[in-house]
Amino acid sequence: MFQNPKRNPKHHWTAAWTASPQPPSTGFTPNWSQEGFSGHTVRQVVRVTAAGDRVRIRLSNAYGTSPLHVTGATVALTDTGAAVRPGTPHHLTFGGDRSVAVPARAHVESDAAPLAPHRLDRLTVTLHLAGTTGPATFHAQGFTDTHRAGGDHLDDVTGAPFTEVTSSWYYLTGVDVSTAAGGTPASAPGVVLFGDSLTDGFGSTPNADRRWSDALAERVERPVLNAGIGGNLLLNDSAWYGERSSARFHRDALGLPGAGTVVLLQGLNDIGFSEARDQATYKPAPVLSSADLVAGYRTLIRAAHDRGVRIVGATILPFKGTTHWGPRAAKVSAEVNDWMRGSGEFDAVADLHRIMADPADPDLLNPAYAYEDGLHPDDAGYRVMAEAVAPLL
């Protein structure tokens, strides 16, 4: 459910940054989602991939069981760490008010603020949460520091009060930009990268914007939006890894303002979790066939085409020698990739399996592009993925 106080029809909005919301959970690294906030100020840094002369934010209480009371919010250009550039903070309003109550299981959008970011600028969104929130809707793996301070530090320019840090995003699920009232869209149609930890950016350098969504944004003059969730599954929900793809596809991809193309890279966890004997976060993991996954892909293809959105399929990357590998997983992934290459059901196919494979063994991720776990790319690998996909957009 969207709560959208006093929407201004004169603004044509384009999503410039997004993070897919997840239920509060222990997560992969320490975070504040389960404890929530009480009398805190939270400062979060994002990089926008579209320019405009107005911005708004989107806040999600999708997994809350009671209203979320936001006492105040600001947006500013980022300096370093938790500091913001002097003269750039703007107080945000929601239907004209500086505070807002976000109902349980709902989202809100702020009013427009007169901040004019360039493409690839970093913005800082600060939320003051004077009350007690309870467990927080969040995005577990931000690979960017989020800062917290006790008390009201909404208007602080320096980062000095913000002494606590995690690498997750809380409540903040989007930043949109617009041109002047009555103007044309801020950018060409946006590209949504949809998937699991490979899209989320696991293995990339933290605080450096080196996910493959970042690399792609640096190569195309279009908004690039990262809708990855680490561990996410095509066909099943998970307490840690979010709702299955079909349940979140509209919210996290098709419904984003200005979205025109989706790049789908998903299925490895569906195939591999049942092989991962030492991974207790998703047990028992169902054993799935290639036909099961193909049916799941077809659901997303139909949903995209029903909305007039292009959908690009990306083949599953090589993963031999990892926790996800086994004879059954190898067979199913090969069948899925063959179907993607030959079915013609996607609008285009990026054969990332071929591009990212070790020349000496096509089932291994090329060591030149691999993070230490052999399952995820590193910064160099994510750049190669972006270079392969850019011509298909």
Determine the Cα–Cα distance for residues 291 and 269; give it in Å rounded to an integer. 15
**Antiparallel, parallel or unpaired: β 357-358 and 348-350:** unpaired
Tokens 């004169």 appear where?
10
Q: Which domains does the chain have, with CATH numbers?
A: 2-178 (no CATH), 190-392 (3.40.50.1110)
Q: Which helix or strand (DSSP H or E) is residue 385 part of?
A: helix 379-389
With a CB cutoff of 8 Å and minimum separation 6, the contacts of 295 are: none
* Residue-level length of the chain: 393
pLDDT at site 28: 85
Confidence of residue 10 (pLDDT cuts 50, 70, 90): low
pLDDT digits (tens, 9 = 90+) for 217-234: 999 999 999 999 999 999
| The token pair that represents 245 in the structure block | 């793809």
CA distances from 323 to 271, 289, 319, 326, 373 (A): 11, 19, 9, 8, 9
Q: Model's pTM, two decimal places?
A: 0.95
290-306 helix and 327-343 helix, angle to the nearest 10 degrees: 40
What 3-state class would DSSP assign to 254? helix
pLDDT at site 187: 63
Q: Which of 13-22, 71-80, 182-191, 219-228 has the lowest mean pLDDT?
A: 182-191
CA distances from 188 to 8, 101, 227, 304, 310 (A): 21, 33, 18, 18, 14
Determine the Cα–Cα distance for residues 242 and 279; give it in Å rounded to an integer. 17
pLDDT digits (tens, 9 = 90+) for 145-204: 999 999 999 999 999 999 999 999 999 999 999 976 544 455 689 999 999 999 999 999
